């Protein structure tokens, strides 16, 4: 069965500094014409950072869209032309007091493919240490928290950790020996 939807036209609805919202007219596999609203996003990088004493580095921040604080792995959007690994290094340093020797890609996925093309890259930070001289963006207020594997299990079970990128990264960590 052919599942391809063919783009006929795309009309911009809204443009922000990094998001583009379009109304796309498409032809369905059965020939019918339909409309889709699509959010174009530059992509994002997220970081699984584990300390020498085997604690994960998380950030607590307010998420306006869902109206609550969330506990997440450090993450942020790619700047124009920025490589995902470069973004991951920058975001770790901006959102936490940590830096890393390098980043290792562990997962890539689309965050909400039903309406958005954001591609998320999850990296493992290799050889982290305290020493970042970067600061959060001016509109970003974050607190760093360190959790053990047992703390993470309980936080996921209780719903205190509830966003996809964080759960994906933490499940990877929890499954390791």
Pairing of strands 44-49, 119-126: parallel
Q: What are the residue ranges of helices labelled H in 6-118?
A: 84-95
Report which of 112, 91, 88, 109 is spatially closest to residue 39, judged by C-alpha positions: 112
Residue 131 — left, alpha, or beta (φ > 0 → left; ψ -120 to 50 → alpha)? left
Active-site annotation holder among 52, 138, 150, 176: 138
- Give the sheet arrangement for strand 142-147, strand by strand: 68-72, 56-63, 142-147
Helix axes 149-158, 164-174, angle to 10 degrees: 140
Tokens 């699509």, located at residue:
38
* Active-site residue, 14 included: no
Q: Please answer whether residues 17 and 80 qualify as being in contact, where contact means their C-beta atoms are separated by less than 8 angstroms.
A: no
Decide: 51 and 130 in contact? Cβ < 8 Å.
no
Catalytic residues: 138
């Amino acid at each position: 069965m052919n599942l391809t939807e063919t783009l006929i036209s795309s009309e911009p609805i809204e443009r922000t500094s990094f998001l583009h919202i379009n109304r796309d007219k498409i032809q369905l596999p059965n020939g019918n014409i339909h409309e889709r609203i699509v959010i174009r996003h530059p992509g994002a990088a997220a970081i699984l950072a584990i300390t020498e004493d085997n604690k994960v580095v998380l950030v607590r921040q307010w998420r306006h869209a869902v109206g609550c604080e969330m506990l997440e792995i450090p993450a942020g959007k790619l700047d124009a032309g920025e490589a995902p690994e470069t973004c991951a290094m920058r975001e770790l340093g901006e959102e936490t007091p940590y830096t890393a020797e390098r980043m290792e890609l562990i997962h890539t996925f689309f965050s909400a493919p039903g309406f958005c093309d954001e591609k998320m890259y999850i990296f493992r930070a290799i050889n982290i240490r305290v020493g970042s001289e970067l600061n959060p963006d001016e509109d970003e207020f974050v607190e760093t928290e360190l959790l053990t594997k047992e703390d993470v299990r309980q936080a996921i079970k209780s719903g205190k950790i509830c966003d996809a990128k964080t759960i994906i990264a933490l499940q990877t960590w929890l499954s390791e020996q």
